[in-house]
Amino acid sequence: MDMTMCGRIYQNPLRPTEIYINIGWNTKGKQLYPQYEPWMAAQGISQAEYNQIISAVREEFDNNAPISNICIAQGAMCLCMATCGVLFCGCLWLKMKVDSFNNNAKELVTGVSNNKMSLSMVEMAGAQHGAWVDSKGAPLLVRMGRGTQPGGPPLGYNLIFSTQSPIPWPPAAGMQPALATVVGAPVVANAVVVEAPMQQGMGCQPSSG
């Protein structure tokens, strides 16, 4: 399970007023929560509000994450495949559990944030979605075949909010990563690579959104 994109904040390059706060997956213990960043204050989100939202989301995932262990999801999928779908009850049960968790978590985020944020589960990423960069200036690279390309969005669960207008990104000056030259081509140092496409829960996840 790839955790490299988790615990980071991104701007959607195709919709630059959209900010994604990636918190990880729905497997117990597989979450990372970014710290509050000062530029959020100008967008109507105070540190107290942010901490309250993160605290509520953390409690929800800690107590109610639908997958206690990734082996459970893998086992359900393998059993279904081994019996040619005869014993698909495990996958069906897991999907229902994930759907219920997603609905509850979405309502929680909407309520505790006073409609300032929403929660979305992203299962697919690719270069076609633009070059995503986090708030520290590190790009997100998506593995495509044998190489990598800038892409996104970040896989897993994202808290999403909108800025009043497109803001400079990354928001902190002087945070752009250095460039190195390899075989005559510029390569971004400290880039993060994620696999794509990728699905959490061995295909038992519901659609994003």
Q: How many angstroms separate the CA atoms of 57 and 33, rounded?
A: 9
Q: Is 4 helix (H, G, I), strand (E, B) or coil?
A: coil
- The burial class, CB within 10 Å (0-12 / 13-18 / 19+), for 59 is exposed
Please return the burial class of 175, using the count of CB atoms within 10 Å of its CB with bins 0-12, 13-18 and 19+.
middle
Residue 4 pLDDT: 87
> How would residue 68 be classed by pLDDT, with cut points 50, 70 and 90?
confident
Answer whether residue 195 shows pLDDT above 70. Answer: no
Quick one: average pLDDT of 85-106?
A: 77
- Can you tell me the mean pLDDT for 80-86? 49
Compute the mean pLDDT over every residue in the chain, rounded to the nearest whole number. Answer: 80
Task: List CB contacts of 120: < 8 A, sequence separation 6 or more.
Answer: 157, 158, 160, 208, 209
Residue 35: pLDDT over 70: yes
CA angle 8, 12, 15 (to 5 degrees): 155
The yes-or-no verdict on residue 181 having pLDDT over 60 is: no
Q: Would the pLDDT of 178 be above 50? A: no
Would you say the pTM of this structure is higher than 0.85? no
pLDDT digits (tens, 9 = 90+) for 99-125: 999 999 999 999 999 999 999 999 999
Structure token digits, residue 96: 């229902």
> Average pLDDT of 127-136?
94
Sign of CA dihedral 55, 60, 66, 72: positive
Alpha helix positions (H), 31-88? 47-64, 70-82
Residue 190 has pLDDT above 90, yes or no: no
d(CA 98, CA 93) in angstroms, rounded, equals 9
Q: Is the per-residue pLDDT at 148 higher than 90?
A: no
pLDDT > 70 fraction of the chain, expressed in percent and rounded: 71
**Which helix (H) or strand (E) covers residue 92, if one does?**
helix 89-112
Q: 94-120 b/e with 16+ CB inside 10 Å = b?
A: bbebbeebbeebeebbeebbeebbebb
Banded model confidence at residue 81, pLDDT cuts 50, 70, 90 = low
How confident is the model over 82-110, as a mean pLDDT? 77
* Per-residue model confidence as pLDDT tens digits over 8-34: 999 999 999 999 999 999 999 999 999
Cα 144 to Cα 17, 154, 166: the distances in Å are 27, 15, 29
The enclosing H or E element of 159 equals: strand 156-162
pLDDT 10s digits, 132-145: 999 999 999 777 77
Q: Is pLDDT of 150 > 50?
A: yes
Question: Per-residue confidence at 175, pLDDT binned at 50, 70, 90?
Answer: very low
The domain ranges of the chain are: 8-162
